[in-house]
Structure 1
Amino acid sequence: MADNETLTKRLAEAEEALHQVRIGGQAVVVGYDGHRTEYSPANAAELHRYITSLRRQLGLPSGGLASRPVRF
């Protein structure tokens, strides 16, 4: 398992990749541990699962709607 610094860096890269996929609709390549994975709008859900996994490893909330504060 990677250390927190590495996981935090991967999380930032994955969140940026998801942002780019969602706003640009283009494929984004994310690399980690010698692996490269290309994400596109067609598999954005897979990228979101990867982000959720990284957040869990770091002990952070999953980032879904349930973890956001409710504002009135």
Structure 2
Amino acid sequence: MTLAQRIAEAETALHDLMTGKAVVEVVDQNGERVRYSVANRQALVAYLQSLKAELAAEVAGTAPVRGPLRFWW
């Protein structure tokens, strides 16, 4: 799933939540399903903002380069 698709899905979930659906479900970047309800609307808003920030960094060319995990002793 692309970043743009995840943003669209999160925006749809937020819209559904704000227009009266009691619970919405989003698939996050790891493929895990996360359920949001009115009680944790702020968590969904924060998730959406983080996706948009990631997209902005990607477009600006400042996205962090992720390489293999290395441990330094």
Q: When the two structures are superposed, what TM-score results if normalisation uses the length of structure 1? A: 0.71
Spell out the pairing of 1:1-72 with structure 2 (5 A cutoff). Answer: 6-32=2-28, 33-59=30-56
The code of the aligned residue for 1:51 comes to L
SS at match of 1:29: strand
Gaps of 5+ in 1: 61-72
**CA apart distance, 1:25:** 4.0
**CA apart distance, 1:34:** 2.0
Query: May I ask how many residue pairs the two structures share in their alignment?
Result: 56
Distance, in Å, in 2 between the alignment partners of 1:27 and 1:12 is 17
The code of the aligned residue for 1:52 comes to Q
- Cα RMSD (Å): 1.6
Gaps of 5+ in 2: 58-73
Distance, in Å, in 2 between the alignment partners of 1:34 and 1:12 is 16
The code of the aligned residue for 1:37 comes to V
Identity of aligned residues (%): 43
Q: When the two structures are superposed, what TM-score results if normalisation uses the length of structure 2? A: 0.70
